Amino acid sequence: MENKTLTKENIEETEKNKNDNSSKVIENNLNNQNIKKEKAKKKIFIFLAILVTIGIIYGIYWVLYGKNFIETDDAYVNGNQNIITSQVGGTVTEIFIEDTQFVEKGQLLAVLDDIDYKIALENAAANLGKAIRAYSNLSSDVGQSEDNVKVKESQLKKAETDFTMDRASYNAGLISKHQYETSKNNLNIAISSLEQSKKALKNAKIQAESNSIYDHPDVQQAIAAYKNAYVNLIRTKIFAPESGNIAKKAVFLGQKIAASQELMTIIDLNNVWVDANLKETQMKDVKTGDEVELISDINGKKYTGYVQGLSAGTGSSLSLLPAQNATGNWIKIVQRVPVRIIIDKDSLKKNGMIPIGSSMKAIVNIKKETKNILPYTEKSSTLYSIDEDAMNKGIEQIIKVNLGKN
């Protein structure tokens, strides 16, 4: 009986302990959940605090610094591509350059076979001599030439009278066809002879009224032909109009080229710029003279420059096929405006040359302007000029020789 009682008490105690343990487990679980919730809330709070802090820091950065800068990755290096062409045709006999080679302004690039042009110059000199001798042999007696014209006019009048009579006789059947044709030929000869006499009279008058051999039309024409042949001979040598690197070489030894054919391109990497395409929404405060920081994709180096000018139109409007928005399917797209940025030469010298077409990151400082804005400059070259003094001396020598003054 006692064992049964003990057993019952043990059972009750065990159940009580179980209930106590279950309560403790539940209580512990609740505590753990509360701790987790508190930790989660704390994490969320910390995260929000970080976000707010970042926002405040960015806001301060934007107000004090960031709003003064506009940047774009849509920027590319550009430069003048001087296409070299030949001014005359011919066969290439010498080439002195290769692709990527640096050449100096005035350096000889290629030479064409000049034998044909030398022959043409010699022929022009001979024709000039003939014109000068013809000029010196012209009769200066205008009166004699006028008398000769009068004689020819009389001969023509007689030929016209004879032809009129012979034509009437031929139509009446009084003379043969041979006699009629002879009379007609005599009339034509008389007309041609009178024209020649009038031309001789005109030349005599020009010579009598002229104070210089250079005023005579035949001599002027011969001089012009000589100058043309002289210039063509000079142009068989092709020179570099400016310093730069050779690109797109398309001329080879022995090649037959035509006038105006593209032979190569010279690019001056010391005078390059960047075309940065800014969004139209970024253009409000951008102006000429704003300083720019440029980061090259090729070498990662930073270059300095300034805004030289803003394009007169958006990239879309200046494209080969401008967009047409007159249809009902129009969707507004933010346009981009090309901005030209000049790269500082000292910056190029320090960081190295960069090829045209390479990408840049451009950061425009709209609050800082440079005071060293270079004006737009005109370029010229004397390489295409002809030494007119030397050419005119040659003409003078030909004139003296043919006038017997040498």
Convert the chain into a string of H (helix), E (strand) and C (coil): CHHHHHHHHHHHHHHHHHHHHHHHHHHHHHHHHHHHHHHHHHHHHHHHHHHHHHHHHHHHHHHHCHHHEEEEEEEEEEEEEEEEECCCCEEEEEECCCCCCEECCCCEEEEECCHHHHHHHHHHHHHHHHHHHHHHHCCCCHHHHHHHHHHHHHHHHHHHHHHHHHHHHHHCCCCCHHHHHHHHHHHHHHHHHHHHHHHHHHHHHHHHHCCCHHHCHHHHHHHHHHHHHHHHHHCCEEECCCCEEEECCCCCCCCEECCCCEEEEEEEEEEEEEEEEEEHHHCCCCCCCEEEEEEECCCCCEEEEEEEEECCCCCCCCCCCCCCCCCCCCCCCCCEEEEEEEECHHHHHHHCCCCCCCEEEEEEEEEEECCCCCCCCCCCCCCCCCCHHHHHHHHHHHHHHHCCCC
Of 14-23, 84-93, 197-206, the one with minimum mean pLDDT is: 14-23
Structure tokens at 189: 């000869």
Judge whether 200 lies within some domain.
Answer: yes
Q: What is the pLDDT of residue 358?
A: 95
Give the largest Cα separation in the chain, rounded. 190
Domain span at 396: 114-235+384-402
Cα separations (Å) of 260 from 15, 57, 216, 235? 111, 62, 34, 12
- In this structure, are 128 and 201 located in the same domain? yes
- In this structure, are 118 and 38 located in the same domain? no
Q: What is the pLDDT of residue 10?
A: 60
Judge whether 38 lies within some domain.
Answer: yes
Q: What is the rounded CA–CA span in Å between residue 294 and residue 277? A: 13
Length of the chain, in residues: 406
- In this structure, are 41 and 120 located in the same domain? no
Q: What is the pLDDT of residue 21?
A: 60
Q: What is the mean pLDDT of the chain?
A: 83
**For residue 401, pLDDT beyond 60:** yes
Structure tokens at 176: 């043969």
365 vs 149: which has the higher pLDDT: 365
Please, which pLDDT band fits residue 31 given cuts at 50, 70 and 90?
Answer: low
Angle at 261 between CA 255 and CA 265, to 5 degrees: 95
Q: What is the rounded CA–CA span in Å between residue 310 and residue 286? A: 9
- In this structure, are 30 and 119 located in the same domain? no
For the segment 212-232, the average pLDDT, to the nearest whole number, is 91
Q: How many domains does the chain have?
A: 2
Judge whether 356 lies within some domain.
Answer: no
Judge whether 158 lies within some domain.
Answer: yes
- In this structure, are 49 and 126 located in the same domain? no
Q: What is the pLDDT of residue 380?
A: 76
- List pLDDT tens digits, range 42-55: 778 888 888 888 77
Residues 209 and 199: beta-carbon distance below 8 Å? no
263 vs 25: which has the higher pLDDT: 263
**For residue 97, pLDDT beyond 60:** yes
210 vs 148: which has the higher pLDDT: 148
Burial of 178 (0-12, 13-18, 19+ CB in 10 A): exposed
Judge whether 138 lies within some domain.
Answer: yes
Q: What is the pLDDT of residue 2?
A: 46
Q: What is the pLDDT of residue 64?
A: 57
Residue whose C-alpha is closest to residue 117's, from 205, 237, 290: 237
- In this structure, are 119 and 188 located in the same domain? yes
Percentage of residues in the chain having pLDDT higher than 70: 83
Judge whether 10 lies within some domain.
Answer: yes
Judge whether 227 lies within some domain.
Answer: yes
- In this structure, are 143 and 216 located in the same domain? yes
Q: Name residue 178's amino acid.
A: H
Residues 269 and 263: beta-carbon distance below 8 Å? no
**For residue 295, pLDDT beyond 90:** yes
Judge whether 226 lies within some domain.
Answer: yes
pTM (predicted TM-score): 0.67
For the segment 216-228, the average pLDDT, to the nearest whole number, is 93
Q: What is the rounded CA–CA span in Å between residue 114 and residue 230? A: 11
Q: What is the pLDDT of residue 58?
A: 63
Percentage of residues in the chain having pLDDT higher than 90: 42
Q: What is the pLDDT of residue 4?
A: 47
297 phi, psi to nearest 5 deg = -75, -20
Please, which pLDDT band fits residue 25 given cuts at 50, 70 and 90?
Answer: low
Q: What is the rounded CA–CA span in Å between residue 215 and residue 265? A: 44
Most confident of 204-218, 222-236, 300-314: 222-236
Angle at 65 between CA 372 and CA 295, to 5 degrees: 55
Q: What is the pLDDT of residue 274?
A: 95
Residues 186 and 176: beta-carbon distance below 8 Å? no
